[in-house]
Structure 1
Amino acid sequence: MEADIAPEVSVSDEVDGLLAELFLTPEGLRDPYPRYERIQELTPVHHTALGHWMVTGYDDVNTLLREQHALKDPYRVFAPWVGKDEWESHAALRRLPNIMLWANPPDHTRLRKLAGFAFTNRAVQAMRPQIAQMVDNLADKLDAAGGFDYMKDFAFPLPAMATGRMLGLPDEDLPSLQGPMRAFQDIYELGLTPEALAACDEGAQFTDDYFAGLVESRRRSPGEDLLSALIAAKDGQDKLSQGELIGMCNLLFGAGFETTTNLLGNGMLALLRHPDQMAKLRDDPTLVPGAVEEMLRYDSPTQLGNRVTDGPVRIGGVEIPDGSSVVALVGAAHRDPRRYPDPARFDVTRNDAPVLSFSSGIHYCLGASLARLEAQIAFSTLLTRFPRLRVADGADIEFRPRLTLRGVESLPISVD
């Protein structure tokens, strides 16, 4: 009997150790992929010492994200850092139950339907000429500079301008919003300190106040923009409330800004580290849409998603009980060798399986098509304009010390 039990305990301890490295150490945050690989070798579904369940395989993660009994529950997810009785004292936390990202049916169904009346694929495609002009204007500045920080000078401003233009934000307001929005996004990271939560709150309060003013302005003077369309959206007598409109603005601007910024940064870094793949894209620009999917897979801007079960759920042959906290490790799923042959290889011609960076099922990201459009235009233009892109000499490339939303902090580039 002891011989049968000992290996299981050993595997469990090793996986818990790997997860601790993954979430809590600079090395794990800098490069989570070797740890993902080892966890997948050991077990597809793991019940951690802290009581959470971890799911790592592609099919299992996809199943969990689509599971009707795996719900969003911000109160449960953030309980380790703040109790429900303290919730209302934190601006960053107050926002969460009111936005579509954390809603469940029937509230999610209602919000998604109303948002869908305004945020259509037609509206996104209508942005193509404007995004192309934004990319050209930014590229002109980069060309004149000769060398630049790609994140600061391109990957940060482009998504902010594109999403801001779509929502109807004045261009001059964008710089003041980027810092607070980035500060709020840290709310999604595990292990929040009181100081970090206070910074999230400050950022959330700033953007809440800003969008409240913008909503009132658009009510008085509607324009030809997404926010005006959201205000006007109706399903019978149902409309988005003031709080829901503010939440929708925060969600669309924040997700569009952060996720797309990280896609642009992580994708460019992958190309710079794989010049043979960059050459393939230059030789055949028709590969760019598929290359963007590979960038999303290879180093996903979204590395995990949280769910709470409201009934028993069977994942990977394991029954996860009712009331369990479950973490879907999307970054690990994208390196699952059962789904992606040679998963550690960056290959812009790969066409193996749909990526999960924008989630799956009812919570599939509303802005996914806009993010893809921005990235496709950006990489097509930059590779054409700059035939000798390379990492600047002596550049020290660092990822932000976060796992949930993974992105490069700084990426100095030379174009000569």
Structure 2
Amino acid sequence: MYVSFDPWSPAFVADPYPAYTALRAAGRAHFFEPTRQWLVPHYSDVSGLLRDRRLGRTYLHRFTHEEFGLTPPPDAHEPFHTLNGQGLLDLEAPDHTRIRRLVSKAFTPRTVERLVPTVERLAAELVDAFVASGGGDLLAAVAEPLPVAVIAEMLGVPEADRALLRPWSSAICGMFELNPSQETAREAVRASVDFSAYLRGLIAERRTNPGTDLISALIAAHDEGERLSEQEMISTCVLLLNAGHEATVNTTVNGWWTLFRHPDQLAALRKDHGLLPTAVEELLRYDTPLQMFERWVLDDIEIGGTVIPRGSEVALLFGSANRDPERFAEPDTLDLSRSDNPHITFGAGMHYCLGAPLARVELAASFGELLRKAPGVRLVSEPQWHPGYVIRGLKELNVEL
């Protein structure tokens, strides 16, 4: 019945939305045997479950692997799980509450506000160079380097070392795809070891010579005598890089690909740059960069009359929720002036994306610069999609001016 949901099919990855329509019509929860997950496609359910404390990103704060009916990961994967397991994204209360409170002391709205001129300068420099070269791959030239440079500046990573960051991040993020291969796991472990060692050195240097960067602020952050451990700082920095650029990169290139396929909307945006704030939100909704977000069921839940028992995993389909006609008027229509747009691209509840304000600044800066300086930018060739479904993006986007 759900053959159309096939996250390993290139055709599905290129356009999963018809399959989502079928899933929503067929019910509220569907067991998907290949990944042993319950697919949840409706906006109201996804939004509600993101806030439901009966679900968790981890279960280890309450159960052992064995108590939860699962096999522990191989010992060889330990560096990845240590790194990933101490980050905000994969922790639950009370650790999540403590770490988010401490990180928030360093990553304040004022911190983001102070970054705005830096983001705008970096975007302008990248777009100027892109225009001077007459176009090319928008992903490699603008979309990718901007958020990586911003996070690197935030963390105080020296410019000479910044080329290391994206490959490490890419290797680690491979583990977030469905049923990753052994080779993917090996690459993620290697990257976890190398990235952790690099950050350990950077943290040691900042302890001796603190600066105005985020690592120095994380070292200094404390609350009633509590501080971040070194591992928590390392995991936080890696999460800020991974979460802080993957979504922005893919929203940029997926967004331009969407605009090229909707020339009337692109023309409206070119005519009125004041549409940019709502346009960014609509592009985030229309083609969601993170298609699926997984949660463990810590206590039995019921969805639409289906009991999902403790020990199960649910797959919250963000891409489907953001196209749900029960919440969005004409959801398959791109409307850059859409004002009622409570998309869940940045999540919800206690795991709501800490970097959402920064992502919005980066997207507004790069789209704005390109609209101003490359008003006639046009597609050269139809792009191909990366095979990954969970973090979904294009391999490249070749354009000319």
Same fold (TM over 0.5): yes
Distance 1:127 1:159 in 2: 12
Are positions 1:412 and 2:389 aligned together? no
Distance 1:334 1:346 in 2: 12
Give the structure 2 partner of residue 49 of structure 1.
Answer: 33
* 1:184-230 Cα distance to aligned partner (Å, 9 max, x none): 11110002111111122222222111111111111111101111111
CA contact (8 A) 1:339 1:352 kept: no
Give the structure 1 partner of residue 90 of structure 2.
Answer: 102
DSSP 3-state at the match of 2:293: strand
Give the structure 2 partner of residue 198 of structure 1.
Answer: 186
Are positions 1:207 and 2:190 aligned together? no
Distance 2:256 2:199 in 1: 32
Q: 1:276 aligns with which of 247, 250, 264?
A: 264
**Which structure has more helix as a fraction of its residues?**
1
Q: Where in structure 2 are the equivalents of 1:137-148 lying within 5 Å?
A: 137-148=125-136
Give the structure 1 partner of residue 163 of structure 2.
Answer: 175
AA aligned to 1:405 is: I
Are positions 1:66 and 2:54 aligned together? no
Distance 2:132 2:305 in 1: 57
TM-score using structure 2 length: 0.94
When the two structures are aligned, how many residues end up with a matched partner?
Answer: 394
Give the structure 2 partner of residue 377 of structure 1.
Answer: 365
Q: 1:346 aligns with which of 334, 341, 353?
A: 334
How many angstroms does 1:351 deviate by?
2.4
How many angstroms does 1:322 deviate by?
2.4
Distance 2:59 2:289 in 1: 21
Give the structure 2 partner of residue 398 of structure 1.
Answer: 384
Distance 1:269 1:100 in 2: 32
Distance 1:298 1:271 in 2: 11
Instruction: Say which is worse superposed, 240-249 or 313-322, in terms of deviation.
Output: 313-322
**Alignment RMSD (CA, Å):** 1.8
How many angstroms does 1:317 deviate by?
4.6
Structure 1 stretches of at least 4 aligned residues deviating more than 6 Å after TM superposition: none
Distance 2:377 2:158 in 1: 32
Are positions 1:25 and 2:13 aligned together? no
Give the structure 1 partner of residue 222 of structure 2.
Answer: 234
DSSP 3-state at the match of 2:222: coil
Gaps of 5+ in 2: none
CA contact (8 A) 1:60 1:316 kept: no
Distance 1:309 1:303 in 2: 19
AA aligned to 1:355 is: H
DSSP 3-state at the match of 2:334: coil
Q: In percent, how many aligned pairs have the same letter?
A: 36
Give the structure 1 partner of residue 320 of structure 2.
Answer: 332
AA aligned to 2:333 is: R
DSSP 3-state at the match of 1:180: helix
Gaps of 5+ in 1: 1-13
